[in-house]
Amino acid sequence: MAAQAARLTLNHGIPGTISIPVTITSKCDFSVAPLNLTHGTMSGRQANGHQTKPYNLNIKCDTGTSVSVKLKGAHPVSGKTANFTQCGNGGLCELTFNGNKYNETMTVTGNNLALSITSTYHLKNPSSPVAESFEGSGILEIQVL
């Protein structure tokens, strides 16, 4: 929840003014439970480009509220954007929402902002896949502006 203070000044035609402090508050509700994206079992070169089933998150806000959404890899990858994270020794996971977005400020319409969050696995070396179990992690940052 973000709050901004504004000062409203009224002048009633009398010398001087009256200042009334006003607080403008934007409020959104959404789940804060951990979200899990599972790649399951993948084989060899076919693993490259594998995308998880989406995790759907609905953010309920007043219409017109601005919301900043960012996905960041917890283990950044040199030379890649902030939404990539290490996934084992042989691959990278690319975290995105609503297609290929990872850093976006949006305006809520209809009291709801829907996010479809996925992970896409990329082999570091597609000609030489590494057989392994892996975990990756990231951060979903939601700011109500």
Of 22, 25, 20, 51, nearest to 38 (Cα)?
51
Q: Which CATH superfamily is domain 28-144 in?
A: Fimbrial-type adhesion domain (2.60.40.1090)
d(CA 88, CA 70): 23
Q: Sketch the domain layout of the chain as residue ranges.
A: 28-144
Q: Kindly report the pTM of this predicted structure.
A: 0.81
User: Which of 25-34, 73-82, 93-102 is least confident?
Assistant: 25-34
Strand order in the sheet with 66-73: 103-107, 66-73, 138-144
pLDDT at 61: 93
Segment 108-140, tens digit of pLDDT: 989 999 999 999 999 999 998 989 999 999 999
Higher pLDDT, 93 or 32: 93
